[in-house]
Chains A and B, each alone.
Chain A
């Protein structure tokens, strides 16, 4: 049971990483990995939208905030493994690579894909996030209290 939960958690993590990666970075990492698995495209790539929701007062009733563009694609490897890509934006190539990576990560090639594709994307995402957070931290206000002259 925990094995299944771990598998789902791992798959969620790599699919999320692929969805958020800049298309150019994913294409570069995929190209450098030199993987060209035999596959058929089951669906797409198809451009569509997802209605993004928020909550009233951040914690209350859900409401519709607006849509975002999303592209999805599903592939099947020659071994029968199916992979899905749901990625932000309108780049069909990105969705297809994401689906292929998702499929390969469920096969014996997982370790190679992790090292060649996912690890560099993860490092890049961390670096971008840390840089913004470091710039934000430099704009944090340090208050000091003025000592007034009278007693």
Chain B
């Protein structure tokens, strides 16, 4: 029997009004503006853009404000908004070699052309709380030096010249898109990279860490990590040529991985690749490690049964909006389902009690 239950509208309205008040917090404290969040919580904004899969810093900042700083809730808002936009087309693939680099480091080549540029990094800070920030500390202007005018070459291109690095195969101009058709397995690398770049940072980090600890270990070195701006170019149908339609900040990580050769491939270095919207270094490095672990099949490696090698496990559990939706639905009313469960347990207990009293009588 199905019994429809209505009611709760007043409770819901009042709950949402209270939510709005709690979001605002103490009215004696000035209200945050979206611009303040965009400028001063920029790494949170970057994460929301990356996992919301929509590059728009103002929208991401608004979502963070609306979500009271709950970044997964903010990502949910961005994903929902994204579905309302008509899509004008797809861009030409980004030329990250032309990036204006804020940061560019290599763990493999000390003297790479273009040098090691630290950029605005948390690295080498002492992780001590800075109480000056609690007292409205003004910042001094950072030092400047002679700006590099030429493009910074990819470090991988030097290894490539020696033939020591696995070449990257060409692919279709229009890659598969998991926002347009459901993710099906086996997934080609283009689809895996799309899932990883919008996947939950914590999940991708945990998967990457598991490969470092020995579950499908692949001896990764960061050949290059670069953060900076790249123009986005798209073919405009009514013009018949392509133009730059904007400029975005991305983080790119290329790993080189030791590879002793396999049944099908000679000994060489192999690659893992991470590319993520915004300044999102932890995520980009994690993505590169997981990308490399998922490539075992095409490189002729053994499946050692590690979680990070299992594309079904990784790709079907990396999306925090899918995961949240399914996880949190169990808190919503399940009264009727639960009534039938309750009836079942009562029936089983009656039967068990009857059976034990019957066997007790038989034993007497």
| Residues of the B chain whose Cβ atoms lie less than 8 Å from the Cβ of A19 | 243-246
The interface centre, meaning the residue of A12, A53, A58, A72 with most chain B CB atoms within 10 A of its CB, is A58
Taking the complex as formed, is A137 at the interface, i.e. its CB lies under 8 A from any CB of chain B? yes
| Residues of the A chain whose Cβ atoms lie less than 8 Å from the Cβ of B136 | none
A57 in contact with B246 given A48-B85, A50-B232, A65-B277 (CB within 8 Å): no
| Residues of the A chain whose Cβ atoms lie less than 8 Å from the Cβ of B85 | 47-49, 67, 69
Q: Do residues A67 and B54 form an inter-chain contact, with CB atoms below 8 A?
A: yes
Of B177, B241, B271, which contacts A8 at CB under 8 A? B241
Q: Do residues B197 and A66 form an inter-chain contact, with CB atoms below 8 A?
A: yes
- Of B143-151, B203-211, B355-363, the one touching chain A: B143-151
Q: Do residues A65 and B244 form an inter-chain contact, with CB atoms below 8 A?
A: no
Q: Do residues A66 and B87 form an inter-chain contact, with CB atoms below 8 A?
A: no
Count residues of B near A (Cβ-Cβ below 8 Å). Answer: 84
28 residue pairs of the A-B complex, CB under 8 angstroms, read A12-B243, A15-B243, A16-B243, A49-B82, A50-B90, A52-B55, A53-B90, A53-B92, A53-B93, A56-B193, A56-B273, A58-B168, A60-B170, A61-B175, A63-B171, A64-B179, A65-B194, A66-B54, A66-B198, A67-B53, A67-B87, A70-B245, A132-B100, A133-B149, A135-B142, A135-B143, A137-B144, A143-B110
Which residues does B use to contact A, with CB under 8 Å?
49-50, 53-56, 58-59, 82, 85-94, 96-97, 100-103, 110-111, 115-120, 142-149, 154, 156, 168-179, 189-191, 193-194, 197-198, 231-234, 236, 238-239, 241-248, 250, 252, 254, 271, 273, 275, 277
20 extra A-B contacts, CB within 8 A, seeds A55-B96, A58-B168, A69-B55: A16-B243, A48-B85, A50-B87, A51-B87, A55-B93, A55-B168, A61-B168, A61-B175, A63-B175, A64-B194, A67-B54, A67-B85, A70-B246, A84-B239, A86-B245, A88-B232, A132-B100, A134-B144, A137-B146, A140-B145
Which residues does A use to contact B, with CB under 8 Å?
8, 11-12, 15-16, 19-20, 46-70, 72, 74, 84, 86-90, 129-141, 143
